Amino acid sequence: MADAPLVYNMKQILNYINGALQPPESGRFLDNVEPATGQIYSLCPDSDHLDLEAAIKYAQAAQQSWTNTATEKRARILSQIADLIDQNADRLAAAETVDNGKPITFSKAVDIYRAAANIRFFAHAITQFSSESHSMENTAINYTLRDPIGLVGCISPWNFPLYLFTWKIAPALAAGNTVIAKPSELTPMTAYLFSELCIQAGLPAGVLNIIHGRGTTIGAAITTHPAIKAISFTGGSQTGTVIKKATAEQHKKLSLELGGKNPTLVFADCDFNHTVQEVARSAFANQEQICLCGSRIYIEQSIYDHFVNALVDEVEKLNVNDPLLPETHFGALVSEAHMNKVLFYIKLAQEEGGQILTGGHQVHLNGRCRNGFFVEPTLISGLTNQCRTNQEEIFGPVATVQSFKNEEEALTLANDSMFGLACSIWSQDVNRCHRLAKQVEAGIVWVNCWLLRDLRTPFGGTKASGLGREGGQEALRFFTEPKNICIRYG
């Protein structure tokens, strides 16, 4: 098979500060590696407090004017950015695939499509946003103002680089805030290309500032800077804890979208073939690097063997290959360190008594991807719910199967986790689905579907999976400060 063409030569990524692209003050850059080849292909700014101070100065200078810009004009600029994403979809999808390792078809259909959709959604939503009024019969009237917070920080992870970046930035800007945003140092490319599109769209200078670099330096500096009034963060639960502690004394407003270890509950009365396909997708989409993936699969005992055999067949159809090839289903993991973490958990699962049903190994491809970070989609049985493999977030292509006797046991197993992000339930019994959906400890429950998203709905998790909700009105409420005004009738 012919190698897919290389898309980029070595390229220097730049910060976007005060409407201009510029290198970090220190002149230092980090290597940016293409996961499918293991080769350094671009350089990412290693920004520090000097870049942050400059960005804060310009963001503060831009604040009043952006807040006072008519809502319709803010919406028009955001819509223009969304249109430019659509017009550049092929280029952005290729960049995302090179930077992250995900299949090109996935980048285009999910990441880039959704990045434009996020921005367009909030451009429209802000024109419909309203606040509340509460009448106290003949005594008084309360009305609530919802003004922008001011300068906010948005920090996003590497698994959906542009998609999750825009999911935060769009509501923050729509609501009239200025923003300092940091993408993951592992996947900075599309945020950089996005900054070029913001310039093209005429976003006023200083309104959005994108600073690249390491989480522990520039990320930590953003979260703790007193001029930044709120932090919208998506990433791991441990980092979420660090941010909570670091911001506690400043009482910063926080939205934390954190890790997951999501249960998938398959009942004997499910639509069998459809469920097999969808459970395989929910377990392994994006190399299982989605916080919503169903990595703990529980199957009713009476269909356990039949279902597991069919699931193994389905997983083995996944074509692991160069992510730039259109026929590839399953690409590279984001980094060598992440690949080693996943391989560690596969070994641990075996030490804990698990049997590998399919997968279990690193994949060594030929040609340009011979040094890439590929791991087979791996399905494991024979583990208890309490073992580390079933309790810790792996965030890579490892899913486990277990059986349950009845609905009560299914619910106990599903809730036996420190996480509470998402759950999917597969059954034709509508009463059971309602009962379970209400009792399962998760912020998002899908019934006979997975990853079906309506951008108006609240998005986020309970327990160690997060704090607050994103999406629709929830996001606009997060990025505004409510102030109640009570007026007594004369």
Minimum distance from CB of 226 to ligand NAP (Å)? 15
Residue 483 neighbours by CB distance under 10 Å? 11
Beta carbon nearer to ligand NAP, 99 or 257: 257
**357's tokens:** 């049903």
Catalytic residue among 154, 291, 423, 433: 291
- Asked whether the beta carbons of 168 and 156 are under 8 A apart, the reply is yes
To the query of whether residue 336 is one of the catalytic residues in this protein, the response is: no
- Which of 63, 118, 177, 184 is close enough to bind ligand NAP by CB under 6 A? 184
Question: Which residues, including other chains, have CB under 8 Å from residue 383's CB and lie 6 or more apart?
Answer: 349, 352, 353, 354, 389, 390, 400, 402
For residue 230, give Cα distances in angstroms to 22, 68, 116, 126.
25, 20, 24, 19
Interaction of residue 215 with ligand NAP, rule CB under 6 A: yes
Alpha carbon distance 279, 264 (integer Å): 8
- Asked whether the beta carbons of 223 and 246 are under 8 A apart, the reply is yes
Interaction of residue 331 with ligand NAP, rule CB under 6 A: no
- Please provide the DSSP assignment of 390-402 as one string: HHS---SSEEEEE
Interaction of residue 52 with ligand NAP, rule CB under 6 A: no
For residue 234, list its beta bridge partners: 257
Minimum distance from CB of 159 to ligand NAP (Å)? 5
For residue 98, give Cα distances in angstroms to 29, 94, 106, 108, 320.
19, 6, 12, 12, 15
- Which of 304, 395, 404, 478 is close enough to bind ligand NAP by CB under 6 A? 395
Q: How far is CA 56 from the centre of its chain?
A: 25
Minimum distance from CB of 243 to ligand NAP (Å)? 6
- Which of 155, 179, 266, 283 is close enough to bind ligand NAP by CB under 6 A? 155
Beta carbon nearer to ligand NAP, 246 or 348: 246
Beta carbon nearer to ligand NAP, 45 or 466: 466
Alpha carbon distance 63, 48 (integer Å): 22
- Which of 146, 214, 281, 341 is close enough to bind ligand NAP by CB under 6 A? 214
Beta carbon nearer to ligand NAP, 101 or 260: 260
Interaction of residue 257 with ligand NAP, rule CB under 6 A: yes
Interaction of residue 48 with ligand NAP, rule CB under 6 A: no
**465's tokens:** 């999976």
- Which of 43, 95, 242, 265 is close enough to bind ligand NAP by CB under 6 A? 242
Q: DSSP secondary-structure letter at 334?
A: S
Q: Which of 378, 352, 373 is nearest to 363 (CA)?
A: 373
Minimum distance from CB of 422 to ligand NAP (Å)? 9
Minimum distance from CB of 217 to ligand NAP (Å)? 9
| Angle subtended at Cα 116 by Cα 462 and Cα 6, rounded to the nearest 5 degrees | 105
Interaction of residue 235 with ligand NAP, rule CB under 6 A: yes
Interaction of residue 157 with ligand NAP, rule CB under 6 A: yes
- Choose the stretch contacting ligand NAP; rule: CB under 6 A; options: 58-66, 106-114, 234-242, 396-404: 234-242
To the query of whether residue 257 is one of the catalytic residues in this protein, the response is: yes
Minimum distance from CB of 459 to ligand NAP (Å)? 7
Interaction of residue 33 with ligand NAP, rule CB under 6 A: no
Alpha carbon distance 60, 150 (integer Å): 8
- Choose the stretch contacting ligand NAP; rule: CB under 6 A; options: 35-43, 181-189, 351-359, 426-434: 181-189
Catalytic residue among 34, 96, 257, 288: 257
- Choose the stretch contacting ligand NAP; rule: CB under 6 A; options: 80-88, 215-223, 265-273, 323-331: 215-223
Interaction of residue 219 with ligand NAP, rule CB under 6 A: yes
Interaction of residue 443 with ligand NAP, rule CB under 6 A: no
- Asked whether the beta carbons of 403 and 256 are under 8 A apart, the reply is no
For residue 157, give Cα distances in angstroms to 37, 191, 361, 409, 472.
21, 12, 26, 34, 21
Residue nearest to ligand NAP (CB): 215
**351's tokens:** 């030490």
The residues that are catalytic are 257, 291
**Contacting positions for ligand NAP (CB under 6 A):** 155-159, 164, 182, 184-186, 214-216, 219-220, 223, 234-236, 239, 242-243, 257-260, 291, 393, 395, 421, 461, 466
